[in-house]
Amino acid sequence: MNLTIEQKNINQRLDKFLVDFSLNKEEFKNFSRGDFIRAIKDGFVRVNGEILKPSYRVNSVDKIEINIPEKSEKIIPNPKIKLDIIFENENFLIINKPAGIQIHPDFNEKENTIVNGLIAHYPQIAELESNEIFSFQQRPGIVHRLDKETSGVLIIAKNKKTFLEFKKMFQEKTVHKKYLTLVYGIPEEKEGIIEKPLARTTNYRKQTIAGKKTKTKIRSAITHYKVLEKFKNNFSLTEASPKTGRTHQIRVHLSSIGHPIIGDKLYSKKIYPPFEKAPRHMLHAHEIEFTLFNEKFHFTAPIPNDFQKVLEEIKNI
């Protein structure tokens, strides 16, 4: 793929130029600036036939080529990745994902993800193809995702029929999820709905509440929240139920109403001091409910130790 450099892009860093180029390109929708930096360093992006640094400043006469390999790499099985299985039948698994592990491989991490563990323990799942283009986007069996630092309940399809059915269910929003989270402050309304569209920021690392001047693709986003417990030191235990499945949705929405999640460095508010004892953002996928092949299912992932410790710390301040 050869790229055209417009006047507005002249003297831009190469990595930043690629991010701006990708903002409305469907095939690059999951690329971050870090992904492009790694692609440049790995030689998948060339300027005038040469491998240059991500900091290179582009100019109007440059010929920029992107040749990121399409699916060809095999996913590396990793039996060392242990799966905390809540439920299993012939069609799917429900696992309790720990915080700190990615769902699938990317440019930076190719072996230590949930998918690497799945392929080791369930080789047949490797046959479940997705429609993604590039090798680092392979997510066999994965029908929805959790952020790396988010813990909790995760569905894994074990065969193609179930995989396609779950995909359809998520598209039709018939899978119901509840998350537990610890937030700064106490919302004025004990219960409410946050309906604010989201879009990528121009550096592609974050989501933002979309406005009239938003340049990237805007997607509707709805989150129902309920305050479960208030603490005298200005913290709350909150339940959040996303009605849409946008990246970082709960984190952005809660921050947008002035109540960011404790430990969330990406969407924190300066008015709140950092909670140093939180090892990650305190977001846990607690429950999931759906009907599959005319059978109803409901699963709960127990609150993890790190979440419980922060909760106790808040209660004792």
Residues 199/218, Cβ–Cβ less than 8 Å: yes
**H or E segment to which residue 296 belongs:** strand 295-300
Site of tokens 């986003």: 221
Nearest to 285 by CA among 234, 227, 239: 239
CA distance 129 to 149: 26
Residue 232: Cβ-neighbour burial (10 angstroms; 0-12, 13-18, 19+): exposed
Options 35, 147, 264, 306, the catalytic residue = 147
d(CA 124, CA 44): 31
Inter-residue contact 206 to 200 (CB < 8 Å): yes
Residue 62 annotated as catalytic: no
Query: How far is Cα 296 from Cα 273, in angstroms, rounded to an integer?
Result: 43
Q: Kind and range of the H or E element at 238?
A: strand 235-242
Length of the chain: 317
Which residues participate in catalysis according to the annotation? 147
